[in-house]
Amino acid sequence: MGSFIYSILFPYTGYPECNIISAYIIPGEELIETTQLIYFIAASVALTLLPGPDILFVLTQSISQGKKAGMAIASGLCTGLLFHTTAAALGVSAILYSSAVAFSFLKYAGAIYLLYLAYMTIKEEGKLASLESMRVTELSLLYRRGIFMNILNPKVSLFFLAFLPQFVDAGSGNVPQQMIFLGAVFFLQAMVIFFIVSYFAGMIGIKIMEKPDLDRKINWVKAGIYSIIGIELALSNK
């Protein structure tokens, strides 16, 4: 089961180095037992669907600027998740947890960035961008925004530091590889869920765009979400 999911996440590309990596991470046997993997996927889906910063960002972006915008920021957020899961696997998150200075620096940087996004949202003219008006450069900007929003939240790293080891079999060895594999599975399910959310939220956004005077209210809602999450991050502890 683990090998099957890995083949989906990292398909054969024809590059020798990719085959070397595949053989190194999956040496002919499952890293995670099938039952344990099913439990992990179920827990991951439940956590992803819970009302939280990431899914709120995807919702508001999709409603205000269309499903492509929502998918772009979702892709960035999930890319940030890969950073956090890898950091947890390699022990970087443990260092972050033990360093008050590093934790504080990241959380305040993240809070400032979110408050900046809130300010820029309020400054927008109030027109919701139509689906066709989203250019590649704008989608790329949203993708990078999603990455920064996730990476600059140290609480995400600490979450994975506590969450992933619960599904790791320490007795079988290769603990970092197991955690990286679980992180890749979490990334995949989060992408699927966020893309589905983006699609349906984008459809709702199209209906909202047909009604006058709602665009500016949507921008204020977006700014409010950025501000609340930014303030909550700044006041948070480990």
- Tens-binned pLDDT, residue by residue, of the chain (238 aa): 444 444 444 443 343 333 333 333 444 456 678 888 999 999 999 989 988 888 988 998 888 888 899 999 999 999 999 888 888 887 765 665 566 776 777 778 878 878 887 887 777 655 555 544 556 678 888 999 999 988 888 778 878 888 888 888 777 777 888 888 999 999 999 999 999 999 999 888 877 766 666 666 777 777 787 788 778 777 777 5
Mean of the per-residue pLDDT values of the chain = 76
103-161 confidence digits (pLDDT tens) = 777 778 878 878 887 887 777 655 555 544 556 678 888 999 999 988 888 778 878 88
What are the helix and strand counts (H, E) for the chain?
Answer: 11, 0
What is the 8-class DSSP label of residue 51?
A: S
Of the CA atoms within 13 Å of residue 223, those in its CB half-sphere come to 15
Give residue 233's Cα distance to chain centre.
16
Of the CA atoms within 13 Å of residue 222, those in its CB half-sphere come to 27
User: What residue ranges do the domains of the chain occupy?
Assistant: 1-30, 34-234
Q: Is 110 exposed, middle or buried (0-12, 13-18, 19+ CB in 10 A)?
A: buried
Q: Rounded to 5 degrees, what angle do the CA atoms 121, 144, 106 make?
A: 85
Residue 28 pLDDT: 47
Of the CA atoms within 13 Å of residue 54, those in its CB half-sphere come to 30
Q: Are 229 and 115 in contact (CB under 8 A)?
A: no
Q: How far apart, in whole angstroms, are the C-alpha atoms of residue 53 and residue 153?
A: 10
Residue 19 pLDDT: 37
